[in-house]
Amino acid sequence: MPLEVGIAAPDFALPDENGRVHRLSDDHGKVVVLYFYPKDNTPGCTREAVGFRDMYDQFQQAGVVILGVSPDPPERHIRFKTKHDLPFTLLADPEHQVCTLYDVWKKKKNFGKEYFGVVRTTYIITPDGMIAKVYKRVKTNGHAEQVWQDLQALGLV
Protein backbone atom coordinates (compact mmCIF):
# COMPACT_ATOMS: atom_id res chain seq x y z
CA MET A 1 0.00 0.00 0.00
CA PRO A 2 1.47 3.38 -0.95
CA LEU A 3 2.25 5.70 1.92
CA GLU A 4 0.30 8.93 1.66
CA VAL A 5 -0.31 12.08 3.67
CA GLY A 6 -2.15 11.37 6.91
CA ILE A 7 -0.83 7.83 7.35
CA ALA A 8 1.52 6.91 10.20
CA ALA A 9 5.11 6.58 8.96
CA PRO A 10 6.23 2.98 9.50
CA ASP A 11 9.00 2.56 12.05
CA PHE A 12 12.19 0.85 10.94
CA ALA A 13 15.70 0.05 12.09
CA LEU A 14 18.71 0.54 9.79
CA PRO A 15 22.43 0.98 10.38
CA ASP A 16 23.84 4.45 9.86
CA GLU A 17 27.18 5.20 8.23
CA ASN A 18 28.98 4.13 11.42
CA GLY A 19 27.04 0.87 11.75
CA ARG A 20 24.93 2.19 14.66
CA VAL A 21 21.29 1.09 14.38
CA HIS A 22 18.96 4.05 13.98
CA ARG A 23 15.18 3.80 14.31
CA LEU A 24 12.69 6.30 13.00
CA SER A 25 11.08 6.18 16.45
CA ASP A 26 14.36 7.52 17.91
CA ASP A 27 13.27 10.88 16.50
CA HIS A 28 9.69 10.79 17.81
CA GLY A 29 8.74 14.32 18.85
CA LYS A 30 10.78 15.90 16.05
CA VAL A 31 10.03 16.75 12.45
CA VAL A 32 11.87 14.33 10.16
CA VAL A 33 12.78 14.76 6.51
CA LEU A 34 13.28 11.19 5.30
CA TYR A 35 14.73 11.09 1.82
CA PHE A 36 15.41 8.02 -0.30
CA TYR A 37 18.03 8.20 -3.04
CA PRO A 38 19.51 5.64 -5.44
CA LYS A 39 23.30 5.73 -4.95
CA ASP A 40 26.09 7.62 -3.21
CA ASN A 41 28.44 9.76 -5.31
CA THR A 42 26.28 9.91 -8.42
CA PRO A 43 25.52 13.35 -9.87
CA GLY A 44 21.84 13.60 -8.92
CA CYS A 45 22.28 12.08 -5.48
CA THR A 46 25.21 14.36 -4.78
CA ARG A 47 23.20 17.44 -5.84
CA GLU A 48 20.35 16.41 -3.56
CA ALA A 49 22.63 15.73 -0.56
CA VAL A 50 24.60 18.94 -1.06
CA GLY A 51 21.33 20.88 -1.19
CA PHE A 52 20.39 19.55 2.25
CA ARG A 53 23.96 20.15 3.46
CA ASP A 54 23.91 23.78 2.33
CA MET A 55 20.69 24.40 4.26
CA TYR A 56 21.51 22.12 7.18
CA ASP A 57 21.98 24.91 9.73
CA GLN A 58 18.50 26.21 8.93
CA PHE A 59 16.96 22.75 9.33
CA GLN A 60 18.93 22.04 12.50
CA GLN A 61 18.04 25.37 14.15
CA ALA A 62 14.37 24.54 13.52
CA GLY A 63 14.84 21.10 15.12
CA VAL A 64 14.32 19.19 11.87
CA VAL A 65 16.10 15.84 11.52
CA ILE A 66 17.35 14.90 8.05
CA LEU A 67 17.82 11.21 7.25
CA GLY A 68 19.03 9.93 3.89
CA VAL A 69 18.44 6.29 2.91
CA SER A 70 19.97 4.32 0.05
CA PRO A 71 20.90 0.69 -0.66
CA ASP A 72 24.60 1.57 -0.28
CA PRO A 73 26.52 -0.07 2.60
CA PRO A 74 27.71 1.97 5.59
CA GLU A 75 31.31 2.06 4.30
CA ARG A 76 30.21 3.78 1.09
CA HIS A 77 28.12 6.25 3.12
CA ILE A 78 31.24 7.20 5.11
CA ARG A 79 33.13 8.04 1.91
CA PHE A 80 30.15 9.99 0.53
CA LYS A 81 29.74 11.97 3.77
CA THR A 82 33.46 12.72 4.01
CA LYS A 83 33.86 13.72 0.37
CA HIS A 84 30.91 16.14 0.45
CA ASP A 85 31.04 17.19 4.13
CA LEU A 86 27.51 15.95 4.82
CA PRO A 87 26.45 16.70 8.42
CA PHE A 88 23.32 14.51 8.57
CA THR A 89 22.76 10.78 9.03
CA LEU A 90 22.81 8.36 6.10
CA LEU A 91 21.15 4.99 6.57
CA ALA A 92 22.08 1.79 4.75
CA ASP A 93 19.33 -0.43 3.31
CA PRO A 94 21.22 -3.00 1.18
CA GLU A 95 18.41 -5.56 1.50
CA HIS A 96 15.83 -2.96 0.34
CA GLN A 97 13.52 -3.73 3.27
CA VAL A 98 12.80 -0.12 4.22
CA CYS A 99 12.83 1.00 0.59
CA THR A 100 10.13 -1.60 -0.05
CA LEU A 101 8.22 -0.62 3.10
CA TYR A 102 8.20 3.02 1.93
CA ASP A 103 7.25 2.01 -1.62
CA VAL A 104 10.36 3.43 -3.30
CA TRP A 105 11.95 0.15 -4.52
CA LYS A 106 10.48 -0.09 -8.01
CA LYS A 107 11.07 -1.41 -11.47
CA LYS A 108 12.88 1.23 -13.50
CA LYS A 109 13.84 1.49 -17.14
CA ASN A 110 16.93 3.12 -18.60
CA PHE A 111 18.00 2.89 -22.23
CA GLY A 112 15.54 0.02 -22.72
CA LYS A 113 16.97 -2.02 -19.84
CA GLU A 114 14.67 -2.86 -16.91
CA TYR A 115 15.98 -3.20 -13.37
CA PHE A 116 14.91 -2.55 -9.78
CA GLY A 117 16.13 0.53 -7.95
CA VAL A 118 15.21 3.38 -5.67
CA VAL A 119 12.81 5.96 -7.06
CA ARG A 120 13.95 9.22 -5.49
CA THR A 121 11.30 10.08 -2.89
CA THR A 122 11.10 12.30 0.20
CA TYR A 123 8.72 12.18 3.16
CA ILE A 124 8.08 14.91 5.71
CA ILE A 125 7.10 13.27 8.98
CA THR A 126 5.46 15.20 11.82
CA PRO A 127 6.58 15.02 15.47
CA ASP A 128 3.76 12.55 16.17
CA GLY A 129 4.94 10.25 13.36
CA MET A 130 2.40 11.08 10.66
CA ILE A 131 3.29 11.67 7.01
CA ALA A 132 2.67 15.34 6.24
CA LYS A 133 4.06 15.51 2.68
CA VAL A 134 5.29 13.09 0.03
CA TYR A 135 7.54 14.09 -2.86
CA LYS A 136 7.52 11.42 -5.56
CA ARG A 137 10.11 11.21 -8.32
CA VAL A 138 12.06 14.13 -6.86
CA LYS A 139 14.00 16.49 -9.09
CA THR A 140 17.22 17.27 -7.23
CA ASN A 141 17.74 20.91 -8.16
CA GLY A 142 16.08 23.09 -5.55
CA HIS A 143 14.61 20.15 -3.63
CA ALA A 144 15.96 21.17 -0.20
CA GLU A 145 14.59 24.69 -0.69
CA GLN A 146 11.17 23.29 -1.64
CA VAL A 147 11.15 21.05 1.43
CA TRP A 148 11.99 24.06 3.63
CA GLN A 149 9.20 26.14 2.07
CA ASP A 150 6.72 23.30 2.57
CA LEU A 151 7.80 22.83 6.20
CA GLN A 152 6.99 26.51 6.72
CA ALA A 153 3.68 26.28 4.86
CA LEU A 154 2.71 23.23 6.95
CA GLY A 155 3.55 25.12 10.15
CA LEU A 156 6.20 22.58 11.13
CA VAL A 157 9.04 25.11 11.46
Q: Give the CA dihedral 132, 108, 47, 32, nearest 10 degrees.
A: 20
Sign of the alpha-carbon dihedral angle for 97, 106, 154, 46: positive
DSSP SS3 for 74: helix
Sign of the alpha-carbon dihedral angle for 139, 124, 65, 59: positive
- 45 catalytic per annotation: yes
Distance of CA 4 to CAs 1, 16, 85, Å? 9, 25, 32
Q: Which residue of the set 45, 91, 125, 144 is catalytic?
A: 45
C-alpha 21/C-alpha 83 separation (Å) is 23
- The residues annotated with a catalytic role in the active site are 45
